[in-house]
């Protein structure tokens, strides 16, 4: 192993141990941000659904630990690790990661989308640990209450906003990847992860929805949703369309309103393909 490789691995271990000391369960990651240890069952044709019960390392996020000796053992078994992952949803912090992606095409701003959601649902994101990603995105760390698992999702809350919850992990600050290093945003290193606002938590953990009959849709409600989409400005078009589509499917007439919502979104500047994809994302939330 080259000296620079050893230095990177040593630094990754040091950062991981520091995180574990603060009660954050960690695992070693490769430069591709994947768990560094291969599955011990990779050659088993039966593919056992083991989550570490066998006692061997190589079960991804299920290996995550805060025990210093165990952390050292994991990194010793993966000397090629260049970073570390922090398991979400685990005590004592029950971490929730809000991953604000950057659209390389310039088609949207996830930070603006989050602000729009906060405005519509009357919550604010408190000062909290913020990690800057090599691509220019940000990870916001929040904590959730025990006993309420937050599912992982990609662009479900809004386009460009991914959620890391139970069973997921965040790349820890100080990790080196193929595209650069993750680092703490200035001024947030000394902050604890802030509690997730209740209104946002409700959005992240949608209750089981009752199916409503689509035979008698509310025409006034439908027109209001279309007007809501038509009022969108650049930067908030996808967010408004997604929210309106969710409300339509929640009340049982999403399919009936899909064409009208699409036309309204196109008038604001989205392409029909973008609009249909956003509406389809909303539809998946309310279908078994």
What is the three-class DSSP state of 199? helix
What pLDDT does residue 158 have? 83
Q: Which domains does the chain have, with CATH numbers?
A: 1-85 (no CATH), 88-206 (3.30.2250), 219-285 (no CATH)
Please state the rounded mean pLDDT for residues 62-74.
Answer: 97
- Looking at the chain, the whole-number percentage of residues with pLDDT higher than 90 is 53
What pLDDT does residue 56 have? 87
Q: How many CB atoms lie within 10 A of CB 88?
A: 28
What pLDDT does residue 212 have? 47
284 vs 199, residue with greater confidence: 199
What pLDDT does residue 206 have? 65
What pLDDT does residue 67 have? 97
Whether residue 36 is predicted with pLDDT greater than 60 in this model: the reply is yes
Most confident of 83-92, 242-251, 261-270: 83-92
Burial of 137 (C-beta count, 10 Å sphere; 0-12/13-18/19+): middle
CA angle 94–151–97, rounded 5-degree value: 50
Task: Please choose, from the candidates 93, 287, 121, 103, the residue with its C-alpha nearest in 3D space to the C-alpha of residue 204.
Answer: 121
Q: Is the dihedral of CA 14, 15, 16, 19 positive or negative?
A: positive
What pLDDT does residue 25 have? 98
Task: Please choose, from the candidates 7, 279, 14, 1, the residue with its C-alpha nearest in 3D space to the C-alpha of residue 172.
Answer: 14
**Euclidean distance between CA atoms 164 and 101, whole angstroms:** 13
Chain-wide mean pLDDT for the chain?
86
What pLDDT does residue 254 have? 84
Give per-residue pLDDT as tens, 79-94: 999 999 999 999 999 9
Give per-residue pLDDT as tens, 136-153: 999 999 999 998 999 998
Q: Binning pLDDT at 50, 70 and 90, where does residue 106 land?
A: low
Give per-residue pLDDT as tens, 212-243: 444 444 555 688 889 889 988 877 788 888 88
What pLDDT does residue 108 have? 61
**Euclidean distance between CA atoms 8 and 214, whole angstroms:** 57
What is the C-alpha R_g of the chain? 21
**Euclidean distance between CA atoms 78 and 121, whole angstroms:** 44
Please state the rounded mean pLDDT for residues 102-121.
Answer: 79
What pLDDT does residue 220 have? 58
Angle formed by the axes of helices 254-268 and 219-230, nearest 10°: 20
């Amino acid at each position: 192993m080259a000296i620079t490789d050893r230095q990177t691995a040593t630094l990754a271990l040091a950062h991981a141990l520091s995180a574990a000391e603060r009660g954050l369960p960690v695992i070693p990651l490769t430069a591709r941000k994947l768990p560094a240890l291969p599955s011990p069952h990779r050659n088993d044709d039966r593919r056992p659904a083991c989550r570490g019960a066998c006692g061997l390392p190589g079960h991804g996020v299920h290996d995550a630990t805060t025990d210093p000796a165990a952390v050292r053992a994991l990194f010793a078994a993966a000397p090629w690790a260049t970073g570390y992952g922090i398991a979400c949803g685990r005590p004592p912090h029950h971490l929730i990661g809000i991953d604000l992606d950057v659209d390389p095409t310039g088609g949207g701003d996830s930070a603006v989308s989050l602000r729009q959601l906060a405005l519509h649902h009357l919550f604010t994101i408190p000062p909290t640990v913020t990690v800057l990603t090599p691509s220019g995105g940000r990870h916001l760390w929040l904590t959730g209450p025990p006993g309420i698992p937050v599912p992982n999702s990609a662009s479900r809350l809004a386009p460009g906003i991914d959620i890391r919850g139970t069973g997921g992990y965040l790349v820890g600050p100080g990790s080196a990847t193929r595209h650069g290093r993750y680092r703490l945003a200035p001024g947030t290193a000394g902050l604890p992860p802030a509690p997730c606002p209740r209104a946002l938590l409700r959005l992240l953990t949608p209750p089981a929805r009752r199916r409503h009959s689509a035979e008698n849709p509310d025409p006034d409600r439908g027109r209001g949703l279309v007007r809501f989409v038509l009022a969108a400005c650049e930067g908030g078009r996808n967010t408004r369309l997604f929210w309106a589509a969710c409300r339509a499917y929640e009340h049982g007439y999403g399919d009936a309103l899909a064409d009208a919502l699409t036309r309204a979104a196109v008038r604001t500047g989205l392409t029909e393909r973008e609009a249909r994809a956003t509406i389809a994302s909303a539809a998946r939330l309310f279908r078994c």
